[in-house]
Structure 1
Amino acid sequence: MKVFSCFLILTIIIQFSCKAQDAFEFVVLPDTQTYVEEFPEVYMKQMEWVCSQNNRFSFVLHVGDITQNNSVEEWHIAKKGFSLLDGKIPYCLALGNHDMGSGAGKFADTRNTSLANTFFPINEYVANSKTIATFPKNSIDNSCAEYHLIDEKWLVFSLEFGPRNKTIQWANALIKKHPNHKIIINTHAYLYNDSSLHDGDDWYLPQKYGVGAATGDDAVNDGGQLWEKLIKTNKNILMVFSGHILGSGVGKLVSKNDYGTEVFQMLANYQKNVKGVEKGDSGYLRIIKVDKKEKTISVKTYSPWLDTYKTEPEHEFVFNNVKTL
């Protein structure tokens, strides 16, 4: 009987391990700027819930605009929330236009990210995100984290608002050194709410902010340029996540890169002034599940504050037949 029991337990463990290797989940936090500014209780509820799911999620991405006014007070709140995840769930931060500037409320007039780097010191950030490289060195402005999931290696790049030419060069060089890794790009401004790339005559382009005046290696890039210079030319980039855009606040796009491989690109933003977010306190976030066995990437939208899901097609959907998984 003891032998049978041990065999049964071993079988369950093996089956569970195999199942665990088939899929993983992670969280994408859309712009929290107005939560941190006006509804800190909603933001903290988000972070408390994510923390409570530490055995479920492999990592957390923030698409940027962590704060609204890039102020000391708001960064204190932002740090308090992410501190709950320290040592429990790795997290990667993309800095948005509201997370940089010469002073509080100066949205990306300059590429000054001193407060973000003060509240998230580089050594702590590297440890809490599993980062293997940053750009510029000793800053969190751009980072690359590595994870081992579903028996494969993944790189997650978190790129600044309006990634500069030299930032794209850094990312390209790092990707070339990891040709067998699967890659996720996390950045603030990339996709528009009509499910097209953020470029042309679209609102809120990086070029329209103060940082957009730079030239040469410091010149900024919008979504269309980022696709051409980075995403389209690398065969192992699988997903792209972004925020920034209002209106419906959502969009999705599947495009083939230069190698004929599909890239799954998503916009999510549920802050104040987004359509359907009446008071700006909805607290919705995205839950992404990557299933290697089923060859799917599924997306759900959930609010820990309201304890409810958005189930409309633009908020809950599945990408099927993902051949690169």
Structure 2
Amino acid sequence: MNGKDNVVEGVGRRGLLRAAVTTPVAAAGVAWAGAPAEATGADAAGGFGRGRFDPHSPRFTIAVLPDTQYLFDEDSSDPEPLRETFRYLAERREERNIAFLAHLGDVTEHGSAHEIGLADRAFRAVDGRVPYSVLAGNHDVDSRTDDQRGDTPYLRAFGPRRYARMPTFGGASPDGYNSYHVLTAANRRWLVLALDWRISDKGLAWAQDVIDRHPRLPAILTTHELAVADEQGQARLSDHGRRLWERLIRRNDQIFLALGGHYWPPGRTVLNNDAGHPVHLHLANYQDRYYGGAAMIRLYSFDLVRDVIDVETVSPWLLSEKPGRRTLLAAENLELTGPVDRFSLELDAARRFAGFAPAPQPGPRPPRAVLPRGTAAYWRFDAAGLPGAGAAGRPVPDGAVVRDLSGNGNDLTVTRLHASAAEVLTWSDEHHGDQPGHASLRFDGGKSPDRGAVLRTAAGAPLNAAKFESGYTIEVFLKLPEPFEGDHAWMGILSWEGRSGDAGKSSGWSPDEPTCSLNLSPERFLQYVVYPVDRDADPTSWSHALPTGRWTHVAVVNDGRRTVVYVDGSKIARNPAQPSKGISTLGKPFAIGGTQFAERYGQGYYGWIGDVRIVSRALRPAEFMTPSTPGPLPESAG
């Protein structure tokens, strides 16, 4: 805090002697005293006590605890709000997947032995349950000194020995006032730097060495003083924050988030570093609010599926009170929802961290690795499946043959529709990250006039007449262009040729519809329509709107009784409950890139298509072409 009665001038109204600041204090809590003896193996990876932490989940939370000093203010102290915050974190560790807790300094008001002792005992409630870091604020130590100040009650309670048994603890500076932790979360490692409120040149050199020894780890910097903000929450660097920015933050692209307390009101800003990348700088401090901030915490919820960090600010102590017993001030402060207290940040981790930790790209998998029992056909567009495949953008000529790598003889031959130009079908090296083959075909089909290209099986190919009465799985990787330009309503992705009427089917819509097709509606909803062998019906599945500019995996699964469509491994909502057994094929070709109506192709597909596989049984999602198990954790350099 930036208050006027900090330890530079002593403790003022309480008349405490400065000598009291050097009084020895018990350090019973400094050695991870609360850790259970069995905290090894799986627990050592991050799961402590009752709540287990999942290091592989793409969603995890870092809790941030700013200035608690008014809860540890000599004879006015009340540690209970902080103890309730610690209970909240421990009890919800599994639910919120809490990886770490970072305190931003000013643990106490005067840094006296009495206050530090109270704080020491309060922190024992979280020892062994959630790993954490604490750093010194100007009220915890003599604010006229930097991290070379030597021994203090703060250092004895919150120095390196306290963190020694935490599996996240990486080390501390020789003076003991700066530390670092390495977290394992979202299947990768992260660095947290906890820096003294006045870090010396020696301390900055130490911090730079830590970063240099961990060159591939994204880093979060925490310190007590970083920024100041106006009443609208617009933050700017403080003088000390400017020193940190110039000497450490801007030079190291790994630092993507920096957090500080000390001043109020809270605020945030974004600055670009020397690599041209954004660094989010946040100020969080609630000591000016009811009950000294009531041990409010910031919860930074990382979601690497949605590429966001969702931030919320709550007081577990006030939330724990029964609603009917909350006072007006408690009700007003239990959760803060202003734009600097509850917000979301974009974080495309793969892109933001590419400069120092490029995401490992899996190599292509050999065809034999993706031919499960019952594979009826498998096509891919790299050299294995399309001999002579050329450079990206090169047209694939009419008559080119794509091999059926299942060995069942369902090769595909390229045919352009309506005398379309060569450019309507080109080879591409774009592919889904989990796709076995690292290539695709780029289709440029469209309407008015109709244009496109299709890949068709030959007359007499086994797939043409396969009815799959025991079940089937059809998988395809596809990508829609961004921007998605033109009218492509009801374009076909894949289908069997022929009229449903010729199969004796009359659903009441049109006998000219094919017996099985996967299409895209005007709203970019997938439509999978099939005429089963055992009834006169056309059970149809509908997805949500597919994204543009992003690869998607689609799987159609039929178990001989009904059909379920999955998008990116997730079951869609509108799968029909009506029975559906097999496909009423007519012995006519299977096609990729279009759908016939009245035995004529109109427009062709618009976008990319990658690997396509058909299996003559229902596969579980774990058996899809997308790997379903987490990969190894990225290696760190330290």
Same fold (TM > 0.5): yes
Query: Whole-Å Cα distance in 2 between the matches of residues 160 and 129 of structure 1?
Result: 22
Greater shift in the superposed pair: 52-61 or 85-94: 52-61
Code of the aligned partner of 1:269: N
The residue aligned with 1:175 is 211
- The amino acid across from 1:128 in the alignment is M
In 2, the alpha carbon distance for the partners of 1:18 and 1:134 equals 26
Match of 2:155 in 1: 117
Residue 108 of structure 1 and its aligned partner are, at CA, apart by 4.0
Report the CA distance shift for 1:278/1:123 in structure 2 as closer, same or farther (over 3 A): closer
Tell me, yes or no, if structure 1 residue 262 matches structure 2 residue 267: no
How many Å apart are 1:112 and its aligned residue? 4.7
8 Å contact from structure 1 (residues 302, 310) kept in 2:
yes
How far apart, in 2, do the equivalents of 1:57 and 1:123 lie? Answer: 23
Q: Equivalent residue for 2:339?
A: 313
CA distance in 1 between partners of 2:291 and 2:220 (Å): 32
CA distance in 2, matches of 1:80, 1:61: 17
RMSD: 2.1
Alignment match, 1:86:
127
Shift of 1:196: 0.3
Identity of aligned residues (%): 30
Match in the other structure for 1:294: 306
Counterpart in the other structure of 1:162: 198
Question: Shift of the alpha carbon at 1:283?
Answer: 2.8
Q: Trace 1:28-67 onto structure 2 (pairs within 5 A).
A: 28-37=64-73, 38-55=77-94, 56-67=97-108
Superposed, 1:88-167 pairs within 5 Å as: 88-101=129-142, 107-108=143-144, 111-120=149-158, 122-128=160-166, 130-136=168-174, 139=176, 141-167=177-203
Would the alpha carbon gap of residues 306 and 51 (structure 1) be closer, same or farther in structure 2, given more than 3 Å must change?
same
Matched with 1:251 is: 267
The change in CA–CA distance for 1:315 and 1:281 in structure 2 (over 3 A counts) is: closer
Instruction: Name the CA distance, whole Å, in 2 between partners of 1:81 and 1:189.
Output: 24
Tell me by how many angstroms 1:123 deviates. Answer: 2.9
| Greater relative contact order (Cα < 8 A, sep 6+) | 1
Q: Distance in 2 between matches of 1:191 and 1:281?
A: 19
1:99 is paired with a residue whose SS is coil
Residue pair 1:92, 1:129 contacting (<8 A) in 2 also? no
Letter in 1 for 2:110: N
- 2:145 and 2:344 map into 1 onto residues whose CA distance is 38
Structure 1 residues 25 and 279: CA distance shift in structure 2, 3 A: closer
1:185/1:128 CA distance change after superposition, 3 Å = same
Contact 2:294/2:317 (<8 A) preserved: yes
Write the distance in 2 (CA, Å) between the matches of 1:178 and 1:281. 35
Deviations 1:256-282 (A, max 9, x none): 1111111111110011xx2xx144253
Q: In 2, Cα distance between the equivalents of 1:233 and 1:109?
A: 26
Per the alignment, do residues 153 and 278 of structure 1 end up closer, same or farther by CA in structure 2, a change over 3 Å counting? closer
Equivalent of residue 224 in structure 1, options 242, 266, 277: 242
The offset of 1:320, in angstroms, is 1.9
Q: Take 1:185 and 1:78, find their aligned partners in 2: how far apart are those partners? A: 23
Question: 2:65 touches 2:295 (CA, 8 Å); kept in 1?
Answer: no
Q: What's the CA shift string for 1:54-96, capped at 9, x where partnerless?
A: 3231110000001111011111221122111212110111111
CA change 1:48–1:124 in 2 (3 A) is same
User: 1 or 2, which has the higher helix percentage?
Assistant: 1
User: Secondary structure at the residue paired with 1:280?
Assistant: helix
What's the offset of the Cα at 1:157?
A: 0.5
**1:284 equivalent in structure 2:** 296
Distance 2:184 2:153 in 1: 31
Q: Which residue number in structure 2 is paired with residue 303 of structure 1?
A: 315
In structure 2, give the amino acid aligned to 1:152: R
Contact 2:82 2:294 in 1 (8 A): no
Q: Report Cα offsets for 1:150-171 as digits up to 9, x if no partner.
A: 1211111100012111111111
Change (3 A) 1:295 1:117: same
Instruction: Report deviation, 1:130.
Output: 2.3
TM-score normalised to structure 2 length: 0.41
For residues 113 and 59 of structure 1, what CA distance do their matches in structure 2 show?
A: 27
- Bigger shift: 154-163 or 18-27? 18-27
**Rg larger for:** 2
Shift of 1:109: 5.3
Unaligned stretches of 5+ residues in structure 2: 1-52, 320-333, 354-638
| SS state at 1:188 partner | coil
TM-score normalised by length of structure 1: 0.79
Cα 1:244/1:129, change in 2 over 3 Å: farther
Q: 1:324 aligns with which of 352, 357, 375?
A: 352
Q: CA deviation at 1:147?
A: 1.1
Aligned pair in 2 of structure 1 residues 79, 33: CA closer, same or farther (>3 Å)?
same
Q: Aligned partners of 1:279, 1:24: CA distance in 2, in Å?
A: 29
Q: CA 1:164 to 1:18, structure 2 compared with 1: closer, same or farther past 3 Å?
A: closer
1:133 Cα deviation after fit: 1.9
Between stretches 40-49 and 154-163, larger displacement belongs to 40-49
Superposition pairs for residues 231-242 of structure 1, below 5 Å?
A: 231-242=249-260
**Equivalent position to 2:116, from 75, 92, 112:** 75
Rounded Cα–Cα distance in structure 2 between residues aligned with 1:74 and 1:158: 21
For the 8 Å contact 1:144–1:155, the answer to whether it is kept is yes
- 1:233–1:43 Cα change, 3 Å: same
Q: How much does 1:321 deviate?
A: 4.7
